[in-house]
Structure formats: C-alpha cells, structure tokens
Structure 1
Amino acid sequence: MIVNLKNPQTNQFKQAKAGFSWTMFFFGFWVPLFRGDWKWLIIMLLLDLIGIFTFGIVSGIANIVMAFLYNKLYIQDLIAAGFKPNDDASANILKTKNISFNGLAVD
C-alpha cells in the first residue's frame, strides 16, 4: 500500500510504502541511501560493519528485522518532519498500520 504524504510548509510531496519492505530485505543499506534517509543509512552501515566480524550473521538478521520495521520508521520520520497524509485513503492506511499523525489529511 502506498501512502501519499505532503509537507504543508514546503509543499513537498512524497510517496512511501506501508508494510513489509522487500527492498530492505534484499538490498539492505541501499534503500535508505536512495531515499535520502541518512539516519537509517548510518545505522544500517554500522550493522553491516559489525556483520563483517560475525561472518554476515548480524547483517542478515538486521536486514530481516528492518524489512518488517523500516517503512513504518521511515513514515514516522517523515511525519515528525512535518509531512501529513495528502488524502483520506492515505490517512486510513496510516491508521490501519498504527502510525499516528497529528491533524487531518491535507487537501
């Protein structure tokens, strides 16, 4: 499910997927790199660096766990940065995924 988010102050528009992240599962730290999500890029790179010393075990576990969590964390970071759902369908998706946001959808 894709969520449409808009920042009313900057008029910036972003689309984000809600739910399991197959791209994070297969590509790991590349996902936050291409999304410009620097906080999670650094965290994933540190986990991959630790994974070098554990023969990839930490990296594999981190990719599996983050595949379940990353999209929700990314959307929560966008909401914290001032983004709001752009339509009622996006607001309903966020509610079903237990992602809280302030106010109503931006029209």
Structure 2
Amino acid sequence: MIKLVNNDTHSVIYAKHGISWTCLFFGCLVPFIRADYKWMLVMFIANSFTHGFAIIIFAMIYNRIYVDSLLNQGYEIVTDEY
C-alpha cells in the first residue's frame, strides 16, 4: 500500500501497487468507484473493441496509472508500506 497525502486539502488516500486484481475481475467499475471517469471511459471503449482482452492489459497497469494521476493532482507519497 502507498499512502498519499494532499497537503492543501489534508486528504489521505491509500493506493495499491502492482497488478490490479479488482480491475481484472470487475473491469471498468474500479475507475468508476475511484471517481476516475476518464480511465473508466477509456477502459470501456478499449474492452468494447477488443472483446474483453484489454482488461488483462489494464489490470497490469491501472494501479500505476491511478497513482500517477493522484500525484498530478497534488498528492505526495508519504510511505510505501507492504
């Protein structure tokens, strides 16, 4: 788990790293729950065109995409806990 803190809003988010098993099993519902609507739409369209094969690729990279988007929003990594 990675702990990210936004110093402006004092909000804390815990994000996982590595393979997103929830993304593999639940597909584009994961970005929807995380309020990451841009990637939800990208995943939905990619899965539609590849008949579900793209979800395997997104399962391998989505957690990194999510952490990168949080870092771009002003969050900072506080700890990297395993």
1:60 and 1:49 map into 2 onto residues whose CA distance is 7
RMSD: 1.6
- How do 1:23-34 residues align onto structure 2 when only pairs under 5 Å count? 23-34=22-33
Give the Å deviation of 1:3. Answer: 0.6
TM-score of the pair, normalised by structure 2: 0.90
CA 1:66–1:15: 2 relative to 1, 3 Å: same
2:15 and 2:51 map into 1 onto residues whose CA distance is 24
Match of 1:37 in 2: 36
In structure 1, the gaps of 5 or more residues are: 51-57, 94-107
State how many pairs are aligned.
82
Higher relative contact order (CA 8 A, sep 6+): 2
2:5 and 2:51 map into 1 onto residues whose CA distance is 33
TM-score of the pair, normalised by structure 1: 0.70
CA 1:59–1:23: 2 relative to 1, 3 Å: farther
* Large movers: runs of 4+ above 6 Å: none
Larger fraction in strand:
2
Work out the percentage of aligned pairs sharing the same amino acid: 34
